[in-house]
Structure 1
Amino acid sequence: MEESKLAVIEPSPRKASREFRRQQLIDATIATLARVGFSRTTLTEVAATAGLSHGLIIFHFQTKEKLLAETLQYMAREYRDNWVGALATCRQTPAARMEALIRADIDDTISAPERMAAWSALWAEAQSRPIYQENCAEFDLEYLHAMEKLCAELTEEGGYPSLPEHTARAIRVTLNGMWFDLMTMTGPYSRQESLGTMFNMLTAFYPRHFDHHGAIECGQRAAS
């Protein structure tokens, strides 16, 4: 009997074009936020950045609020997928996973100047608005729980005296500060030095698990 074959359903050109245009407008919104900030980001400014008509933005997103909400959700999911992927592909020990989480935060794509400037614009204006809580609260909590879980595992494994919740908060605050330090196009120091700074801080909390270069396990560099 001849083996049956499943038909491959290709997306229609209209649907593919719609998804492409929406992504193009989201990318243009990120670039506009980075260049002019939250309050000066208008549909007209985004259209000019994208090289598309104002009417096309209205067709796809209707309002500035909806465009910003979808842009914020896109960036939050991009950030989330990056660190989740890093944890899934590294060596599955607490120290190696913590190193992967730190490296994911200073990844070249995630911490690119334009991305960081766009995040800064959104944080400065949107934290007190429903747009941020509606689109980012779930992602923030997931990240916080992952960080606290790793801190708890490291504390238990090493018999350290620190409180995992407080350590997780200190790490997050330091990472956020590192992002702001890297915000300028030139930057006060390199990403490699940023990693070294983070690992240096971790040696204070987990001296038997980290040195200035990253995770150490049983005297050997942790494989990521």
Structure 2
Amino acid sequence: MTAQEFPGKGPRKERKENADKRRRQLLDATLRSVERNGLAKTTLATVANEAGLSQGVAVFYYKSKNGLLMAALEDLYLQYENHWRKALVSSGDTPKERLLALTDADFDESICNRASLSIWFAFWGEQNFTPQYASITQRFDNNRTEAIEKVCQELFPTEDRAKAQELSRWIDTLTDGYWQRMHLFPESCSREMAIKGARDFIERMLEPFPEHN
């Protein structure tokens, strides 16, 4: 291990920048390793090799394989949440436009692609055995569920909250289902098909309400 791999003496800002760079390298390398090797065969060694760093650097920053994987999953969710929040902020003024923006964001190529789907499903498949993964997933999923519920409540302001919750669950189930089909059957389920299917569902749900058409 070289001296440059650890935040040694030097200006504090430079040390922080170097540490942030190393963490970014390790997190990106972890996700690449999970995609290529799966969770079981991802190790501190495979991650260090992907990052072009020594294994000691991975241990220095994340202590263990589990600590590294938890950080990588949280980072994956942060990227996803930042993406859908940005889409929501930049959407149109009506609740319908905001709802369509949220569902479209789920299928953006930067978020939903073959590599990222492999990583998502690798982590989700281990949640029953690793409660820490489930805890991270629940925290971020709750944020998105609340955002969808809020938009659905704006669609039906005179209805009780149960209607908004029901519609938001349907949308979550639909988009999750398309992610699964795109992951397992990419030859028969394209991104365009998923976007159209989600949009068609929302349009049909809102057909009885002319104020949203």
Q: How far is the alpha carbon of 1:39 from its aligned partner?
A: 1.6
Residues 52-104 of structure 1: per-residue CA shift (max 9 Å, x gap) = 22111111111011101111111111111111111111112110000110011
Residue 152 in 1 paired to residue 159 in 2? no
Match of 1:189 in 2: 189
Determine if the alignment matches structure 1 residue 12 to structure 2 residue 13: yes
Structure 2 counterpart of 1:206: 206
Q: C-alpha separation between the residues in 1 aligned to 2:39 and 2:178?
A: 22
Q: Which deviates further from its counterpart, 182-191 or 42-51?
A: 182-191
Matches within 5 A, 1:7-86: 12-86=13-87
Q: Distance in 1 between matches of 2:189 and 2:12?
A: 45
Kindly tell me: are residues 105 and 11 of structure 1, through their superposed partners in 2, closer, same or farther at Cα, counting changes over 3 Å? farther
Matched residue of 2:40: which SS?
coil
8 Å contact from structure 2 (residues 106, 112) kept in 1: yes
The residue that corresponds to 1:221 in the other structure is none
Q: Which amino acid aligns with 1:178?
A: Y
Aligned in 2, Cα 1:185/1:108: closer, same or farther, shift over 3 Å? farther
* Range with bigger deviation, 128-137 or 71-80: 128-137
- Structure 1: gaps spanning 5 or more residues: 1-9, 211-215, 219-224
Specify every segment of 5 or more residues in structure 2 that has no aligned partner in the other structure, as ranges.
Answer: 1-10
How much does 1:186 deviate? 5.0
Task: Decide which moves more: 115-124 or 43-52.
Answer: 43-52
**Counterparts in 2 of 1:46 and 1:207: CA distance versus 1, 3 Å:** same
Which letter maps to 1:34? E
Whether 2:110 is the aligned partner of 1:109: answer yes
Q: Percent identity?
A: 29
Residue deviations 1:178-212 (CA, integer Å, cap 9, x gap) = 111222695423312211011111233112679xx
Q: Contact 1:113 / 1:184 at 8 angstroms: preserved in 2?
A: no
CA RMSD after TM alignment: 2.5
Give me the whole-angstrom Cα distance separating, in 2, the residues matched to 1:188 and 1:18.
43
TM-score (norm 1): 0.80
TM-superposed CA distance for 1:217, in Å, is 5.4
**C-alpha separation between the residues in 2 aligned to 1:38 and 1:78?**
20
Secondary structure, in 3 states, of the residue corresponding to 1:38? coil
Q: For 1:146 and 1:110, locate their aligned partners in 2 and report how far apart those are by CA, in whole Å.
A: 18
- Which residue is 1:169 aligned to? 169
Q: Which amino acid aligns with 2:195?
A: L
CA spacing shift, 1:11–1:127, aligned 2, 3 Å: farther
Runs of 4 or more off by more than 6 Å in structure 1? none
Relative contact order, higher structure (CA 8 A, sep 6+):
1
Q: TM-score, normalised by structure 2?
A: 0.84
Q: Which one-letter code corresponds to 1:176 in the other structure?
A: D
Q: Which amino acid aligns with 2:200?
A: N
What code does the residue aligned with 1:96 have? E
Q: How far apart in 2 are the matches of 1:94 and 1:63?
A: 44
* Contact 1:30–1:114, Cα closer than 8 Å, also in 2: no
Q: Report how far residue 131 of structure 1 moved.
A: 1.4
- CA distance in 2 between counterparts of 1:185 and 1:31 reads 21
